[in-house]
């Protein structure tokens, strides 16, 4: 192992100075031997001065390590050999003590230098470990500080969110909750931890079941809209999402539950739907009046015939039958009109889309006739039922048909068709109007987007919302100059008896996995 360059740098001497000092020591010892030989060289002085040769050897080993000790031992051996040859019978005298002395020079210089080198190397290693350990500690400390800063930042972001955020452990107990969750649930974080999720609400609308499915590994994420009720009696319309937390090895650590309070948005949307319904009702007034006027005309005609008193029993029977039939027809129109304008609490049930479309065509045909637009109905003989709210679906198709009529200033055709495939019923409302420019096609369902000066821009947005609440979707395709097609896609109802009746807008399933 390498020896240090010099262990005496702290004394202000250079390497040549150290070598000169060692040489001077060797010369001094040799001079002492010459002086002793001049005076008869008593054996005691010879032995004493010979021991002084070890001083420059040890010093050289101390300064330069094993190599310095070996070189000093070699130089000392040369001087000692010359001295032995001149005054003591040569290096190889009979007793062999001179050779033993020379060997001792090398042993002492080499061993002492090696020990010092070993000590210096270990000290350097210790210093290196200390330096690297200090560096590692500083890096670890800096990393811990970074983690703390990131954690504080994330904690600040989570606590600043308007959405309620809760984390739960693998056993379903709450571990953290942000202030928004505290405000929504009316419970402090200290009161939530470590209680189970089900104990935080008087009615959780299935949130705890969703959490169990996610923690059980059945689904990575579940989302739903539902109405929950807190223990202080508040009813909240919320959008909840339950997402699984896993580590790098895939082990489930818990879940994150987010709660968005949609109560105000839901109430506003309901008001917009009612406003849109009333606007559509005004547009249908002319068509309804026409549907009522025709039966009344027939009733009036037969009433006049009866008043003349010239009727035989057959004529009277025919007149009363017509009057009864036309009266029933008026009653159906009025009943349908009242249900559309003032609907009861929306309830999803099994229905035939063709019945809804026929009512829509009845309401809008007069309005379309005034604009020179023909409504054509094409339905298959057999169509599976869907689960939907009839009045809300009527609102959807009335909106689509009236929009189609309004864009065709020079008249045209609106075609209503329906078909079933792959577990879905697809209803198409197609017109041959001017079409929609491609750059506007992606915005037609945006709130307040309209191409008419007198439009509110809410109709298609509400249509989109109603279709989504029925677990369906709506598509639009258009070519400028050729017309536009809106396609409403609704899932086919399950077999008879398998469905349950639920309020419109409530998720009839278990949520949505992703």
**Average pLDDT score over residue span 110-130:** 83
The answer to whether residues 446 and 422 touch, using CB atoms and an 8 Å cutoff, is: no
- 12: pLDDT strictly greater than 60: no
pLDDT given at position 354:
94
Peptide bond into 7 cis (omega under 30): no
Structure tokens at 373: 């637009």
pLDDT given at position 5:
46
Give strand pairing partners of 155.
Answer: none
Model confidence over 359-377: pLDDT tens digits? 999 888 888 888 899 999 9
pLDDT given at position 162:
85
Please state which of the ranges 203-217, 272-286, 309-323 shows the lowest mean pLDDT: 272-286
**Average pLDDT score over residue span 449-478:** 78
Of the two residues 36 and 211, the one the predictor is more confident about is 211
Model confidence over 139-177: pLDDT tens digits? 888 888 888 888 888 888 888 888 899 999 989 899 999
Q: Where in the chain is the domain with CATH 3.30.565.10?
A: 267-491
% of residues, the chain, pLDDT over 70: 79
The values of phi and psi at residue 424, to 5°, are -135, 150
Strand order across the beta sheet in which 252-261 lies: 174-177, 164-168, 252-261, 235-246, 221-229
pLDDT given at position 274:
64
pLDDT given at position 506:
45
pLDDT given at position 103:
84
Q: What is the DSSP string of 180-226?
A: HHHHHHT--HHHHTT-BGGGG-SB-TTHHHHHHHHHTTS-SEEEEEE
Q: Tell me the whole-structure pTM to 2 decimals.
A: 0.41
pLDDT given at position 511:
42
Buried b (16+ CB within 10 A) or exposed e, 29-45: bbeebeebbeeebeeeb
- 256: pLDDT strictly greater than 80: yes
pLDDT given at position 358:
92
Band of the pLDDT at 42, cuts 50, 70, 90? low
Band of the pLDDT at 109, cuts 50, 70, 90? confident
Of the two residues 332 and 5, the one the predictor is more confident about is 332
Q: Where in the chain is the domain with CATH 3.30.450.20?
A: 162-261
Task: Give the angle subtended at the CA of 184 by the CAs of 181 and 185, to the nearest 5°.
Answer: 85
- The answer regarding whether domain 162-261 maps to CATH 3.40.50.10790 reads no
Structure tokens at 411: 């008249």
**Average pLDDT score over residue span 477-503:** 79
pLDDT given at position 68:
81
What average pLDDT does the chain have?
Answer: 79
pLDDT given at position 431:
94
Please state which of the ranges 77-86, 310-319, 462-471, 500-509 shows the lowest mean pLDDT: 500-509
Band of the pLDDT at 468, cuts 50, 70, 90? confident
Q: For domain 267-491, give the fold.
A: Heat Shock Protein 90 (3.30.565)
Residue 217: Cβ-neighbour burial (10 angstroms; 0-12, 13-18, 19+): exposed
């Amino acid at each position: 192992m390498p020896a240090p360059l010099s262990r005496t740098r702290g004394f202000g001497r250079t390497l040549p100075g150290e070598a000169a000092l060692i040489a001077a020591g060797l010369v001094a010892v040799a001079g002492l031997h010459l002086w002793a030989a001049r005076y008869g060289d008593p054996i005691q002085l010879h032995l004493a001065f010979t021991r002084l040769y070890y001083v420059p050897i040890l010093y050289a080993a101390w300064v330069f390590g094993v190599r310095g000790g070996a070189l000093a031992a070699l130089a000392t051996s040369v001087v000692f050999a010359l001295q032995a040859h001149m005054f003591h019978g040569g290096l190889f005298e009979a007793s062999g003590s001179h050779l033993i002395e020379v060997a001792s020079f090398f042993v002492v210089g080499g061993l002492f230098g090696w020990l010092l080198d070993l000590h210096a190397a270990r000290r350097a290693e210790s210093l290196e470990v200390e330096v690297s350990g200090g560096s590692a500690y500083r890096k670890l400390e800096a990393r811990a500080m970074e983690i703390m800063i990131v954690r504080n930042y994330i904690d600040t972001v989570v606590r600043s969110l308007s959405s309620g955020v809760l984390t739960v452990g693998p056993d379903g107990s709450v571990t953290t909750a942000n202030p928004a969750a505290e405000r929504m649930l009316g419970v402090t974080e200290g009161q939530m931890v470590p209680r189970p999720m089900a104990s935080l609400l008087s009615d959780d609308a299935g949130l705890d079941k969703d959490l169990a499915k996610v923690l059980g590994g059945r689904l990575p994420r579940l989302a739903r809209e539902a109405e929950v009720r807190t223990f202080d009696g508040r009813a909240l319309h919320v959008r909840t999402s339950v997402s699984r937390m896993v580590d790098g090895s895939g082990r489930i650590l818990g879940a994150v539950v987010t709660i968005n309070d949609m109560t105000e948005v839901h109430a506003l949307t309901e008001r917009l739907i009612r406003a849109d319904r009333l606007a559509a009702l005004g547009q249908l007034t002319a068509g309804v009046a026409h549907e009522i006027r025709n039966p009344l005309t027939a009733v009036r005609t037969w009433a006049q015939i009866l008043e003349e008193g010239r009727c035989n029993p057959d004529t009277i029977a025919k007149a009363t039958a017509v009057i009864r039939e036309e009266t029933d027809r008026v009653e159906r129109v009025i009943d349908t009109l009242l249900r559309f304008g003032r609907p009861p609490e929306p309830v999803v049930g099994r229905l035939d889309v063709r019945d809804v479309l026929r009512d829509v065509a009845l309401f809008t045909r007069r309005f379309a006739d005034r604009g020179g637009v023909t409504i054509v109905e094409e339905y298959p003989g057999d169509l599976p039922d869907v689960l939907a709210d009839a009045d809300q679906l009527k609102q959807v198709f009335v909106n689509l048909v009236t929009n189609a009529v309004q864009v065709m200033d020079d008249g045209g055709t609106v075609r209503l068709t329906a078909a079933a495939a792959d577990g879905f019923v697809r209803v198409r409302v197609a017109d041959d109007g001017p079409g929609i420019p491609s750059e506007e096609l992606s915005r037609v369902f945006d709130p307040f987007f309209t191409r008419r000066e007198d439009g509110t821009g809410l109709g298609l947005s509400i249509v989109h919302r109603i279709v989504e609440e029925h677990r369906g979707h709506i598509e639009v395709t258009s070519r400028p100059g050729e017309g536009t097609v809106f396609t409403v896609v609704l899932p086919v109802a399950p077999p008879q008896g398998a469905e349950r009746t639920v309020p419109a807008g409530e998720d009839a399933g278990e949520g949505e996995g992703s």
